[in-house]
Structure 1
């Protein structure tokens, strides 16, 4: 794939193209059928059952026609990519929340769909944005050592809970559903009856199919409204879809070394290949799915150059994401660290485009120092990298604990985590995760 392919004219054309196959599958559905289909598709994914007979015929045909991998898919390489995900799972999750998702919010055109479908309560989002510019430590007394000691205890011992009311519920659910999709497609092979996410019958294939259909439903709803700005291109168009796929692959892989997780060229290609397959299942055109990871990097950089620009919608999404990080993490471990970590993983230009404030909080700087490379732990590169990996793993584990135990609200299924990943994370009793009172109301 040569660099000359990614011209502005080529990518501008891709902004006018969507997914005819999925759009056709939902074109004739009534509102009642859309609701029924969503319920049945959820059951289909969770129970790994055959395509339900109750599904409208057009959707049944879609599921049957799109559940096979492309002829160029290499299952050994996919399984290798899934094993790599398992090895670096805590850092992978951290990269998803603090690199991949913020990079999506930096795209000023593509973020418009995410913003409008989030249906966030404006007063709650206002609260989420205000917290970004308000220091939670203002007014505290005591000397420097006292403040540092108190801050460390709060971060790691959880002297107060960051969970509470005021979180934009629908966006909360959408972000967790994104994390669930990543886990589903990267799920390892656990033996008979539990195939890997992208093996025949794997949950990841069904999840990707469902997301693809939901994209088509959103496009239909926007068309019915008649208020979509054509200057943005088509909603959920080909360029925006591949940008999202690259955010989950290229952006994640670029972030891992900064989190202490070394990657080999083979591992990068395997993980990228897995997401290239996911992109095909989700309806991305083959000419936007370059074979080599390095070409995927170049395509991502071209799209970033074209699309990354600050927008109020992107900043609002970012504010709610940072509020979510505070909310689901036990204690105060993530308070104010998200901003520093996002800037570190994405660079200031992309973080600024996503609306991430630049924090100069002393406690955040001291805790994130090893990740930023200040080298105050040791002068030995290998030892410092080991410490970075351990700190990143701690942050990732605490984040996953919060996600698993938080639930997704009434009538929502608990977060699904394969046994092998659960053992890797060291999580126990997750199947009985309670449903918080403040999340039981349906938004």
Structure 2
């Protein structure tokens, strides 16, 4: 859809739309009473790159077969070029996920209710954040979008997780239909743009100006992932500029304060403090969120004021950042960003999964609470 066409008249109906292919698969599982059997079968997918198990219900088998086929317009060369950015900027990409993409999503009050009520990110918050970071790394890993690749399996399983959340929350007494369908198409599109648009913009704020060809390749690979995730093609634009316009339209419509958004963002700040412990790092989370997501977005989710003075102090500590100077804001924040992103996988995995990668295997509702 051309830029400028994402009006309220276009987007309002998308809040009433789910994902028919994945929804049908999940509904069949519950109709047949095969939750435990399917949970065990999906566990056989191993590290998100194994073959689809035999004996799944018909609609679930059809779902896996259909959703792993990439669109005709998918360009393998662009996908690999976009994936190549992970090796260069993994720390910054991970930090932008935590400090820009997620706070912007949490500031969309209606969509934040899904995560709040489902407890995906309000109980076991550190594990949930690590799972999200692992998903981003999975799809950005070279070759992960090849047939039955790890990125494909991760996206397919998250799509089932979304369908399971819709199944349960739409039947929950606390769900307000004024929020739209749980995990609806507008919210899915906003989340996708928070990866494909917000992260390159965040890299620029850290002094990493991607060549247009790299930025567009990165956007293209996320557009492919959006197809696997079941996002309406009309909300999955072809060009980065159109994606940025769509993101702006969704934020204009959905941003407002909510208890859910504030609680979710507090979980991010707590996680950052655990990954980078100690008083000298206390200002990193608020400062990075305000720098990357902006003060307006940070205020909506009640982020404390930035404390650049503590980050400047870190630059003089030989055991810490070791570069930058007081007042040199972007280099200081860029170094803080890289340190945080790397710490997420070094410290975060130690805290939450004994140093092992996470496996997106079983959708919420098909696995016992933990």
Instruction: Tell me the TM-score range normalised by the shorter chain.
Output: 0.7 to 0.9
Q: 1:407 to 1:39 in 2, by over 3 A?
A: farther
Distance in 1 between residues matched to 2:315 and 2:243, nearest whole Å? 30
Residue of 268, 291, 294 corresponding to 1:321: 268
Between 274-283 and 30-39, the greater mean CA deviation after superposition: 30-39
Distance 1:322-1:405 versus aligned 2 partners, 3 A rule: same
Aligned equivalent of 1:25:
25
2:327, 2:274 → 1: CA distance? 33
Question: 1:162 maps to which residue?
Answer: none
Partner of 2:321: none
Contact 1:250-1:296 within 8 A present in 2 as well = yes
Relative to structure 1, the CA distance from residue 241 to residue 334 in structure 2 (aligned partners, 3 Å threshold; closer, same or farther) is farther
- The aligned counterpart of 2:356 is 414
Aligned to 1:356: 303
| Contact kept in structure 1, 2:349 and 2:357, CA below 8 Å | yes
Pick the aligned partner of 2:294 from 347, 352, 373: 347
| Aligned counterparts, 1:38-437, within 5 A | 38-46=39-47, 48-118=49-119, 169-188=123-142, 196-329=143-276, 331=278, 334-360=281-307, 362-364=309-311, 366-367=313-314, 376=325, 389-408=334-353, 414-415=356-357
2:205 is paired with a residue whose SS is helix
The CA deviation at 1:69 is 0.6
| Equivalent pair of 1:325/1:334 in contact (CA under 8 Å) | no
Instruction: Say if 1:387 and 1:329 are closer, same or farther in 2 by CA, change over 3 A.
Output: closer
Aligned to 1:69, what secondary structure does the other structure show? coil
SS across alignment from 2:109: coil
CA contact (8 A) 1:326 1:332 kept: no
Question: Structure 1 residues 49, 397: closer, same or farther in 2, change over 3 A?
Answer: closer
Structure 1 residues 244, 314: closer, same or farther in 2, change over 3 A?
same
1:64-94 CA-partner distances (Å, limit 9, x unpaired): 1211111111110000000012211111111
In the alignment, the residues of structure 1 paired with residue 315 and residue 289 of structure 2 have an alpha-carbon distance, to the nearest angstrom, of: 11
Counterpart Cα distance in 1 of 2:8 and 2:160: 28
How many residues in Structure 1 have an aligned counterpart in Structure 2?
Answer: 354
What is the alpha-carbon distance in structure 2 between the residues aligned to residue 364 and residue 378 of structure 1? 10
Q: CA deviation at 1:386?
A: 6.2
Q: Name the SS for the 1:112 alignment partner.
A: helix
Q: Is the 8 A contact 1:108 1:309 kept in 2?
A: yes
Equivalent residue, structure 1, for 2:7: 7
Question: Structure 1: any 5+ residue segments left out of the alignment?
Answer: 121-167, 189-195, 370-374, 418-441
Q: 1:74 to 1:331 in 2, by over 3 A?
A: same
Give how far 1:404 is off: 2.8
TM score, norm. by length of structure 1: 0.74
> If the length of structure 2 is used for normalisation, what is the TM-score?
0.87
| Shift of residue 332, structure 1, vs aligned partner | 5.3
How big is the alpha-carbon RMSD for the aligned residues of Structure 1 and Structure 2? 2.7
The verdict on how the C-alpha distance between 1:111 and 1:230 changes in structure 2, with shifts beyond 3 A counting, is same
- In structure 2, relative to structure 1, the CA distance for the partners of 1:204 and 1:340 (3 Å cut) is same
Distance 1:320 1:390 in 2: 23
- Contact 1:82–1:187, Cα closer than 8 Å, also in 2: yes
Quick one: structure 1 residues 98 and 199, their matched pair in 2 at CA, closer, same or farther if it must change by over 3 Å?
A: same
1:349 shift after superposition:
0.7
Deviation of the 1:29 alpha carbon: 1.5
Contact map agreement 2:286 2:307 (CA 8 A) in 1? no
Change (3 A) 1:402 1:329: farther
The answer on whether the counterparts of 1:19 and 1:283 sit within 8 Å (CA) in structure 2 is yes
Deviation at 1:26, TM superposition (A): 1.1
CA distance in 2, matches of 1:185, 1:332: 35
Distance 1:68 1:334, change over 3 A: farther
Give the 3 Å change call, closer, same or farther, for CA 36–365 of structure 1 in structure 2.
farther
